Structure 1
Amino acid sequence: MPTPEEELIAREIGKLGALGSKLAGDSGNIAAAFSAKLAARLLPTEQYQIETIVADGVVSVLTKIVHFFGANGRVAAELEVAPSPLPRITGIVGSGFLNLNPTIVHAEVIVGDAKSTTLRITSLAKEGLIKQRSAEKAVRRLCDWLNRAGD
């Protein structure tokens, strides 16, 4: 049984399939979207996770994360992902080659105060035969954004 995150990735890949079909002038948008979603369900889901400490308060860090998701994709609705016992923001960003691989990124607050925030950042992406390391790249981009945003 696929997880909510795997279903979300499949839907996002389906949107890319439909868009590609539309751009090519093909009227088979529904078939392209369905084929892309089916293929996504068959591909393995790669996961990458790190814990990092950001030298900033919780509110500021969460604001920066929302800005990152807005600039690189979108914030996921709570109903699109499985619940978490920790405070969490989830987004869908492009990653991999030309940032075309939809990747889910969860940023969970483990510990935080006014001066420091410890995050667990987890990402999930579908990978085919050619490994793009999309999940790892998305996490690293978010970490770079958080470290750079204070400059």
Structure 2
Amino acid sequence: MDPSEDEILTGEIAALGTVVGASGRLTGGVAKRLKKNVHEIDLVIPLPFDDAVKRVADVLGGAGRAVEPVRVEPGGDRWTIRVVVGAGVGGMNPVVVTALVTRDGEGGSAVGLRAAAKEGLIKQRAGEKTAVRLAALLSE
């Protein structure tokens, strides 16, 4: 079973807490209660499906680290790629980015990009900013 965005974000924040000397259990508990900043962008990449999957995997892989292996959906017409990207001040705010690449009948490939980050007292809009930045890279 794939971990949820919340589970991944909570684990990442707990791990950061232990790096700075805080209890991972305490920071993980606090992270569970934080609201998420989520942003979704749909775009079409004018590439054949296999090339589009490679492009998305390369761009997301260059921006962060894979959370789980690339997963092929039944029929081979959908691929899901998920990474964790550092955002905000010093790249310390983890953002879970999920891309769903789908074969598009128009000769291109559709990409649904979703970025989610936990938000504390200071709203950084890390999910929104990360989604916009990665969508721009994918559109180049």
1:133 match: 125
2:35 match: 44
Indicate the percent of aligned positions where both proteins have the same amino acid.
Answer: 28
Q: Which blocks of at least 5 consecutive residues in structure 2 are unaligned? A: none
Q: CA RMSD, aligned part only? A: 2.3
CA shift, 1:73, in A, is: 1.8
Q: Which blocks of at least 5 consecutive residues in structure 1 are unaligned? A: 22-30, 79-83
1:104 paired with 2:131, answer: no
Taking structure 1 as the reference length, the TM-score comes to 0.76
SS for the counterpart of 1:144 is helix
- The letter of the residue matching 2:104 is G
1:9 paired with 2:1, answer: no
1:53 match: 44
CA shift, 1:114, in A, is: 8.8
1:40 and 1:121 map into 2 onto residues whose CA distance is 23
Alignment counterpart, residue 32 of structure 1, candidates 12, 15, 23? 23
Looking at secondary structure, tell me which structure has more strand per residue: 2
- The letter of the residue matching 1:90 is R
Deviations 1:89-117 (A, max 9, x none): 11111122332211111111244369411
- The letter of the residue matching 1:54 is I
Looking at secondary structure, tell me which structure has more helix per residue: 1
2:134 and 2:100 map into 1 onto residues whose CA distance is 13
1:96 and 1:115 map into 2 onto residues whose CA distance is 36
1:27 match: none
SS for the counterpart of 1:137 is helix
Aligned residues: 132
CA shift, 1:10, in A, is: 0.3
Moved more, 44-53 or 106-115: 106-115
Kindly tell me: are residues 115 and 98 of structure 1, through their superposed partners in 2, closer, same or farther at Cα, counting changes over 3 Å?
farther
Deviations 1:123-146 (A, max 9, x none): 111001211111111111211221
Please list every run of at least 4 consecutive aligned residues from structure 1 whose deviation after the TM superposition is greater than 6 angstroms: none
